[in-house]
Amino acid sequence: MSDAARRVAELREEIALHNEAYFVHDEPTIPDADYDALVVELRTLEAEHPELGGEGSPTQGVGAAPSTTFASVRHRVAMMSLDNAFDDDELVAWSERLRRVLGLETLDDVAFSVEPKIDGLAMSITYERGRLTEAATRGDGIVGEDVTPNVRTIASVPPGLSGRGVPALVEVRGEIFLPLKEFDLLNERQERAGLRRFVNPRNAAAGSLRQKDPAVTASRALAFIAYQLGALDAPVRSPFASRSHAATLAALRDAGFATAAETSSVTGLGQVLERCAWIEARRHELAYDVDGAVVKLDDLDLRERAGATSHAPRWAVARKLPPEERTTMLRAIQVSIGRTGRATPFAVLEPVFVGGSTVSLATLHNEDQVVAKDVRPREEVIVRKAGDVIPEVVGPVRRPGRRPPRWRFPETCPACGAPLVRLEGEADTYCLNLDCPQQRVQRVAHFAGRSAMDIEGLGEQRVIQLIQAGLVSDVADLYELEAEPLVDLEGMGELSAANLIAAIDASRARPLSRLLVGLGIRHAGPTVARTVAGAMGSLEAVRAADVATLSAVEGVGEIIAESIAAFMRNPTNGAVLDRLVVLGVTTTEGGDRDTSVPQTLEGRSVVVTGTVPGYTREGAIAAIEARGGASPGSVSKRTFCVVVGESPGTAKLTRATELGVPVVPGERFDALLRTGEP
């Protein structure tokens, strides 16, 4: 494979893992700046190499799949992310693209809104006939988590709408956050109770909101600031139906919502730049953590003209603030071993307050990065943090005098003593011993994670206990556990043991896609797992498939197919899979297909855009899948046809025209289902 194809696959896997860590676990592992750089690199490569395809890529989606801890909610209007501008030049470039899209000679007279970008949790709160009926997280932008009982406990979220022109239905979009003052008080309470401090306000807010007991959420003093509307069903004269963003914010305030006091209406790009600089200069004076400024068109009609890409509106952009830097002492460089055996160096630092939290660890990525940055234990280094949990070591603080000796990458695994091997052509170093205890811990912990088998109560520390006690050596062993020996583990007890066994037992019913995620197959993240499970139908079919068969699945390239096939061929993996089957783990994706329905679309990819007469969007997709087809969210060369209903997306139609893909009017959808002919 080409270097570009290999790098694209690596980036997609890495970004998907970071999305899961951030959006699902509320535990980001790299700074925003590093994550943004990965996304920019991937988008650049995908633009330069369209033959690699973008289907299933993290650049085509938003966030990550919602946790199964809460019920799922499908957003009426997608909750999109924002494109980023990292400096004034990029903000100017964004404005120039916007000017061209709008067909204007200049933006000098165009009104904008500039708002602080609060570092919290995006939330969509639905009101029907003035009463709060539903609150959902962003999730993957299409489906989020139902956290209604918890959101009802937040004092700044009105239980009902007041004022005139209350809509029949309105989705109020905004940010749930923990004010900095409340964050400090919360950590003081944590310390007094002997509990772990929260790392930053964003993680504290996320953890406080994702509680099964709303009383816990109520005790955390969360707040909500509204900044946008989603779906809206309101009379033309309702304040909510106004055609300017400033008027919409005023309507929200009149209805009882708080909006960001620092929001400013400005005219022209010059004033936009000035206001962004104002927010940056006062970032530490605000009542909440911010990681940038959001610039939006004020005129909603102009917004409709500007439209959106697959993941972000063209009429808005996030002007990210530069990461903060501090100097501290690098005490040591150590190496951690992940579930794939990858050995990752990390910095042990003299604790330092940077980017809103106290930092004592920082990533160093790989051996080449340590060499390139030339950082050495027992010397001062520059630490950069962009509001995330784990910061980056930028480089040494250059001072006169003799420097400490260079750090050398260890030759043996710190967990098992086996040789560490750097594979040819790769920057990473690996422990190749599959029996390495640290790898076992990470594999089992990953298997139990939210996006995989979602086994509540089985975190990394519990997994370590189980492995050290000799109760678990691989993921299949989990399903042979009994409560009695668990009771003797520290901190367990009879009730906790029974709950863990129940959680493990419940995980047997997870669909095949989650099992595939849990197995930790390289390059096979949640999106790929769902695609493969949907196409193949059963674990037996996946195990029997060769590279060519897997590559034929839309969204699965040769690199991913080779990785899946190699995993399935491995005898050790095969033995574990055999045991999982015997132990009753589900090996199908949502049950067997109804063969009484003619399979007129077997193996074909049908994309739906707009509303098809007589069907909901979910109903149209279900009808396609019932006839053996698939319905991905984007158009590619492999697409059989595109069904166009009312209010279709222009991007899908344009792509279909470019590729010569047949277009089927919505009124002919039933005929397509019946005959299989576009």
Instruction: Please pick, among 117, 296, 320, 385, the residue that the annotation labels catalytic.
Output: 117
Q: Which residues 6+ apart lie within 8 Å of 437 measured at CB?
A: 415, 416, 467
R_g of the chain, CA atoms, integer Å: 26
Residues 470, 110: Cα–Cα separation, whole Å = 67
Tokens of 130: 């003035």
**Is 117 labeled as catalytic in the residue annotation?**
yes
Residues 665, 661: Cα–Cα separation, whole Å = 13
Which strand (E) or helix (H) includes residue 161?
none
**Which amino acid, 448?**
A
**Which amino acid, 491?**
G
Closest Cα partner for 489 from 517, 507, 468?
468
Beta strands in 22-168 (DSSP E): 72-74, 84-85, 111-118, 121-128, 131-137, 143-145
H, E, C per residue of 25-67: CCCCCCCHHHHHHHHHHHHHHHHHCHHHCCCCCHHHCCCCCCC
Residues 201, 423: Cα–Cα separation, whole Å = 40
Three-state DSSP class for residue 87: coil
Closest Cα partner for 464 from 303, 359, 643, 337?
337
**Rounded alpha-carbon distances, angstroms, from residue 566 to 495, 545, 562:** 41, 11, 6
Angle of helix 3-19 relative to helix 32-48, nearest 10 degrees, comes to 140
- List, as own/partner pairs, every contact residues 404-412 make where C-beta atoms lie below 8 angstroms and the sequence separation is at least 24, other chains included: 404/376, 404/377, 404/378, 404/379, 405/376, 406/374, 406/376, 407/333, 407/370, 407/375, 407/376, 407/377, 409/335, 409/343, 409/345, 409/367, 409/370, 410/335, 410/343
H, E, C per residue of 438-460: HHHHHHHHHHCCCCCCCCCCCCH
* Residues forming the active site: 117
